C-alpha cells in the first residue's frame, strides 16, 4: 500500500514503546500483542456478510488484512439485482397497503388502530427504502471508510506492534435477537388474523419482517462502526493523557528522573503521530455521519412512532380489558416491538455517546497540551 506524504517523513519501522506506553494505566485496554491478521473483519464479519448479501453493502475484495478493493462486475450486478428485487417488493407491499390486498391484516383492529398500523407499515417501508437508496449511493464511501479504519490500524501496528480488540461481539447478539423477534412477530400476526390469510397477505407479512429486520441490522452496523472508531480514539487519547502534568509527576516520582527525561524526549514524535491519527479518525467520524445520518433519521422516526403507538395500545389493553378479555397475542406483540426497537435505539445512543465523549476528550487533551 502507498503511504501518504506526511507518513513518509516519519520512521516506518516499529519504535520501542516509551515510558508513557509502559506505565500509563489503562493503555492496553483495547490492545493485544501480535496477531498481525487481526482486523475489523473478525469483529463484524457476520454483520458485513448479511449487509452484502442483502445488497446494502457491495461485495468488496479483501486484498489484505489492511485493505479492501472494489467489487468485481458480477458482484456489482448481484447488488443491483438484489436492490431491484427489494424495491419491487416494496412497491408490491405499498400497492397492497393502499388497496384491499392487505385488508385481512386490519380486520381485527379498531378504526384508530387501523390508522396507526397503516402509518407504521408506511414508515417501515420509508425507513427501509431510505436505507437501500442511501447505501447504494454511498457504496464507495463505505468502502473508503473501511479502508481508512484499516489504514489507521496498520499505522498503529507498524509503530507500536499492537492490534486493536474492538469488542463488537454485541453486533451478532443483536442480529440474532432481531431475527428471533421478527419470526415471533410473524407467528403472532398469523395467529391474530381472524380469517385464513391469502398469498398477498403472507407476502406482505414476510417482506415487512425483512424490511424491519434489515433496517434494524443496519443500525447495529452503524453502532459497530462507531464503537470501532471510539476504541481507536480511546487508545490515542490514552497516549496523550500520559503526557499530562499529573501523569508526568507520577512517572517522575515512581520511575526516576532519568526515565522521565527519556519519556519527554519521545513526546514530540509521539504527539505528532497521535495528532495525525486523531485527524484521520475525525475524518472517518465525519464520513460515517455523512453516510448514515439520513438513514438514522428515517429509522428513528419509524421506531419512535412505533414505540409510542405500541405503548398506547399496551396501556389501553391493560387498563380497559378485564382478565378474560385480555388478548395475550396483543400483549406479546406489544412487548416484542418495544423490546426490539428500544434495545436498538439504546445501542445506537450508547455508541454515539461514547464516541462523542472520546472526541470531546481528544479536544480537551490537545487544548491542555497547547496551553501547557
Residue range 31-40: average pLDDT?
Answer: 49
Please count the structural domains in the chain: 1
In a domain, 310, yes or no: yes
In a domain, 10, yes or no: no
Residues whose CB falls within 8 Å of the CB of residue 200, separated by 6 or more in sequence, listed in order: 96, 101, 102
The secondary element (H helix, E strand) that includes residue 325 is none
Measured distance between the N- and C-terminal CA atoms of the chain, rounded to whole angstroms: 38
DSSP-derived pairing of the beta strands 31-33 and 61-64: unpaired
In a domain, 299, yes or no: yes
Provide the domain limits for residue 298. Answer: 17-371
Q: What is the C-alpha to C-alpha distance for residues 186 and 5, in angstroms, rounded to an integer?
A: 55
Phi, psi of 197 (to 5 degrees): -80, 145
In a domain, 290, yes or no: yes
Confidence band, pLDDT 50/70/90 cuts, at residue 111: low
Q: What is the C-alpha to C-alpha distance for residues 12 and 155, in angstroms, rounded to an integer?
A: 9
pLDDT at 144: 92
In a domain, 150, yes or no: yes
What sign results for the dihedral spanned by CA atoms 152, 149, 282, 33? negative
In a domain, 3, yes or no: no
Each residue of 183-233: pLDDT tens digit?
Answer: 999 998 888 876 777 888 888 999 999 999 999 999 999 999 999 999 888
In a domain, 12, yes or no: no
- Cβ–Cβ under 8 Å, residues 167 and 226: no
Burial readout 264-297 (b: 16 or more C-beta within 10 A, e: otherwise) = bebbeebbebbebbbebbeebbebbeebbeebbe
Helix (H, G, I), strand (E, B) or coil at 140: helix
In a domain, 9, yes or no: no
Residue range 299-305: average pLDDT?
Answer: 96
State yes or no: pLDDT of 130 exceeds 90. yes
pLDDT at 209: 94
What sign results for the dihedral spanned by CA atoms 121, 123, 125, 127? negative
Confidence band, pLDDT 50/70/90 cuts, at residue 12: very low
pLDDT, the chain, mean? 79
Residues whose CB falls within 8 Å of the CB of residue 327, separated by 6 or more in sequence, listed in order: 192, 317, 321
Amino acid at each position: 500500500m502507498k503511504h501518504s506524504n506526511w507518513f513518509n517523513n516519519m520512521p516506518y519501522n516499529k519504535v520501542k514503546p516509551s515510558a508513557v506506553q509502559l506505565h500509563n494505566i489503562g493503555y492496553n485496554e483495547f490492545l493485544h500483542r501480535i496477531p498481525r491478521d487481526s482486523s475489523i473483519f473478525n469483529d463484524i464479519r457476520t454483520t458485513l456478510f448479511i449487509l452484502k448479501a442483502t445488497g446494502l453493502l457491495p461485495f468488496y475484495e479483501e486484498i489484505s488484512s489492511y485493505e479492501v478493493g472494489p467489487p468485481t462486475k458480477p458482484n456489482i450486478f448481484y447488488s443491483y439485482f438484489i436492490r431491484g428485487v427489494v424495491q419491487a417488493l416494496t412497491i408490491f407491499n405499498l400497492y397492497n397497503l393502499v388497496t384491499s390486498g392487505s385488508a385481512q391484516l386490519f380486520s381485527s383492529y379498531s378504526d384508530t388502530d387501523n390508522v396507526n398500523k397503516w402509518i407504521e407499515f408506511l414508515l417501515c417501508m420509508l425507513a427501509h427504502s431510505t436505507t437501500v437508496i442511501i447505501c447504494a449511493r454511498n457504496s464507495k464511501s463505505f468502502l473508503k471508510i473501511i479502508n481508512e479504519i484499516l489504514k489507521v490500524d496498520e499505522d498503529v501496528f507498524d509503530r507500536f506492534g499492537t492490534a486493536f480488540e474492538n469488542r463488537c461481539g454485541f453486533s451478532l447478539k443483536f442480529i440474532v435477537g432481531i431475527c428471533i423477534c421478527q419470526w415471533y412477530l410473524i407467528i403472532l400476526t398469523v395467529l391474530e388474523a381472524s380469517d385464513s390469510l391469502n398469498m398477498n397477505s403472507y407476502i406482505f407479512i414476510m417482506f415487512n419482517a425483512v424490511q424491519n429486520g434489515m433496517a434494524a441490522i443496519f443500525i447495529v452496523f452503524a453502532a459497530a462502526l462507531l464503537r470501532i472508531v471510539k476504541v481507536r480514539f480511546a487508545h490515542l487519547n490514552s497516549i496523550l493523557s500520559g503526557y499530562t502534568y499529573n501523569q508526568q509527576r507520577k512517572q517522575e516520582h515512581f520511575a526516576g528522573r532519568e526515565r522521565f527525561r527519556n519519556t519527554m524526549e519521545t513526546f514530540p514524535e509521539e504527539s505528532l503521530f497521535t495528532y495525525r491519527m486523531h485527524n484521520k479518525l475525525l475524518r472517518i467520524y465525519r464520513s460515517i455521519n455523512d453516510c448514515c445520518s439520513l438513514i438514522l433519521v428515517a429509522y428513528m422516526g419509524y421506531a419512535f412512532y412505533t414505540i409510542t403507538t405500541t405503548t398506547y395500545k399496551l396501556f389501553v389493553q391493560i387498563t380497559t380489558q378485564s382478565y378474560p378479555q385480555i388478548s395475550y397475542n396483543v400483549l406479546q406483540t406489544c412487548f416484542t416491538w418495544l423490546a426490539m426497537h428500544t434495545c436498538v435505539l439504546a445501542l445506537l445512543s450508547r455508541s454515539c455517546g461514547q464516541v462523542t465523549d472520546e472526541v470531546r476528550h481528544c479536544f480537551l487533551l490537545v487544548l491542555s497540551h497547547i496551553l501547557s
